[in-house]
């Protein structure tokens, strides 16, 4: 997702940091333990990052990007079978539930939240690109595509937090009915 220039070393540190945070949790994370995971001295970490917060925020953005990429690709790979998409979406989300929870924890944290949200503003542009793809595929309006994307995001987050599959599937079924009406209307 990041289009800015970043060294392979920094990318590797961020990816390792994300995996480390998934194992330990944000509240148990420490720079000392991260140094052991990355096999780097603390001074080397701070060569790449301003401070500890910067490391956790970069990892959070990486993790969220990874999940969003995967779920959006899953969506685009199911445009030819919308029913299957709605039937299998929660199984796909299940693979990323812990990633989503951690990303949400960082994003809503009183310590990291504002800076994380600031660094992740480009997600809106990303969603816009996916909306454009859906508009082309389904010949639907921009409003319909955005409503679909943001509804899916809300349902995925709700499921990741509350783990209520029945409720989320009910919401997805309602969205499926609306999507079918849009598709049918476009085909007329």
- What's residue 124's pLDDT? 86
Q: pLDDT tens, 97-156?
A: 999 999 999 999 999 999 998 887 888 888 899 999 999 999 999 999 999 999 999 999
* Confidence (pTM): 0.89
Distance CA 75, CA 72 (A): 5
Distance CA 152, CA 75 (A): 10
Q: pLDDT tens, 142-159?
A: 999 999 999 999 999 999
Q: pLDDT tens, 33-65?
A: 999 999 999 999 999 999 999 999 999 999 999
Q: What integer is the mean pLDDT of 84-90?
A: 98
How much helix, strand and coil, in percent to the nearest 5, is found in the chain? 80, 0, 20
């Amino acid at each position: 997702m990041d289009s800015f220039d970043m060294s392979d070393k920094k990318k590797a540190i961020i990816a390792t940091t994300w995996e480390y945070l998934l194992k330990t949790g944000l509240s148990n994370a420490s720079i000392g333990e991260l140094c052991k995971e990355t096999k780097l001295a603390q001074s080397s970490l701070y060569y790449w990052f301003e401070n500890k917060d910067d490391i956790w925020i970069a990892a959070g953005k990486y993790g969220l990007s990874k999940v969003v990429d995967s779920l959006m690709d899953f969506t685009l790979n199911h445009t030819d079978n919308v029913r299957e998409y709605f039937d299998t979406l929660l199984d796909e989300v299940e693979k990323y539930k812990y990633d989503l929870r951690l990303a949400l924890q960082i994003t809503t944290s009183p310590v990291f939240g504002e800076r994380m949200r600031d660094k992740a503003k480009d997600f809106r542009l990303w969603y816009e690109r996916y909306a454009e793809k859906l508009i082309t595929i389904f010949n639907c309006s921009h409003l319909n595509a955005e409503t679909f994307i943001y509804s899916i995001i809300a349902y995925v987050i709700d499921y990741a937090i509350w783990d209520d599959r029945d409720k989320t599937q009910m919401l997805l079924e309602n969205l499926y009915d609306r999507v079918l009406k849009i598709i049918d209307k476009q085909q007329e």
